[in-house]
Amino acid sequence: MEFLALSLKKLAFFFNNLFFGYCLDKRIQIIYNSIMPTIFFKEDFKHPESGMDFHWCNQNNIPEHNHDYYEIIIISKGSIYHKINNQTSIVQQKELIFVRPTDIHSFKTHKSIQSQHINIAFTPIIFEQLQAFMNTKLDALNDPNTIVCTSLNDDDYNYLIHQANKLAWNPSQDNFGYNMLLKNMLLSCFILLLQNNPHKKDWPHWLTDLTQKMHSPEYLSYSVKELASFTHYSQSMMLIYFKKYVGQTIVDYFNAIKLNYACTLLENTDFTTLQISSMIGFNSLSYFNKLFKKFFCVTPREYRRAHT
């Protein structure tokens, strides 16, 4: 029996590595599921062609599983045990968790407390698009030895909940407006992950203070030269150190924050595109439109029309 169990495990491991992401013969799948964690596939998305999926989850006990896509999980109510790669912790409301395709994780009820979480799933292609747009390699997030979980402040948490509610209320989940809103929420989460990345403890105080300012609307119109004035370095040295610690240029980092805020203004104000462009520090409307369309695949005007 021990030999049979070992052989079955080897067989399951073989299929997991050779045919990951493909449908297996039903008999093999039964053996596979009895030994290995459940695997979920992007083909299960409501709209697989978009490469993204979203839902609220009220289930407290979810067995060990992994998938061929990434997940961002936001705990929106209560607390719950989260086990990831054999490490168990209690995660609570306002915590954001990043899960890679290589991660094996599960949830279990904590002290009979009812919990709820938001789940955003996205394919490796979407992950690469986000990295390309932000012009950075998120190596720290892909490190299998790192558990990526961060606590959100009230403002960031409330903003994400607001975005999640808008997605939940969207009557049609296959239109480009829904996909843009979901993509913007993903961008928000990645900005927060960068702001609270695993290596942030190594950041000098001046950099932490600077990035906090960059996330505040009152500083979004500042130039790089003006931002450098908040540090004790010259502009050129500040640029070098910023890239060294953060992993991307200050311009790319700042542009992602600006576009995220531009979406908020387009959704909730009557400011013209020109006014919004100026408010967030773009002197060229055409450049702002080009950058916005590069990520969202629509112009700011089209984005507003889809969300008003």
The model's pTM is: 0.68
d(CA 42, CA 304): 29
Q: What is the mean pLDDT of the chain?
A: 82
Residues 2-19 have pLDDT tens digits of: 444 444 444 443 334 443
Residues 202-261 have pLDDT tens digits of: 788 899 899 889 988 999 999 999 999 999 999 999 999 998 888 789 999 899 899 989
| CATH number attached to the domain at 200-306 | 1.10.10.60
Amino acid at 223: S
Amino acid at 7: S
* H or E segment to which residue 227 belongs: helix 224-228
Tokens (6 digits) for 293: 């369309």
d(CA 217, CA 224): 15
What residues does 300 pair with on adjacent strands? none
Better pLDDT: 123 or 16: 123
Residue 193 pLDDT > 70: yes
pLDDT confidence tier of residue 120, bands split at 50, 70 and 90 = very high
Overall CATH class of domain 42-178 = mainly beta
Percentage of the chain beyond pLDDT 90 is: 43
Residue 158 pLDDT > 50: yes
Return the top range by mean pLDDT from 42-46, 77-81, 246-250. 77-81
Residue spans of the domains in the chain: they are: 2-36, 42-178, 200-306
Q: Among 131, 119, 105, 138, which Cα is nearest to 72's?
A: 119
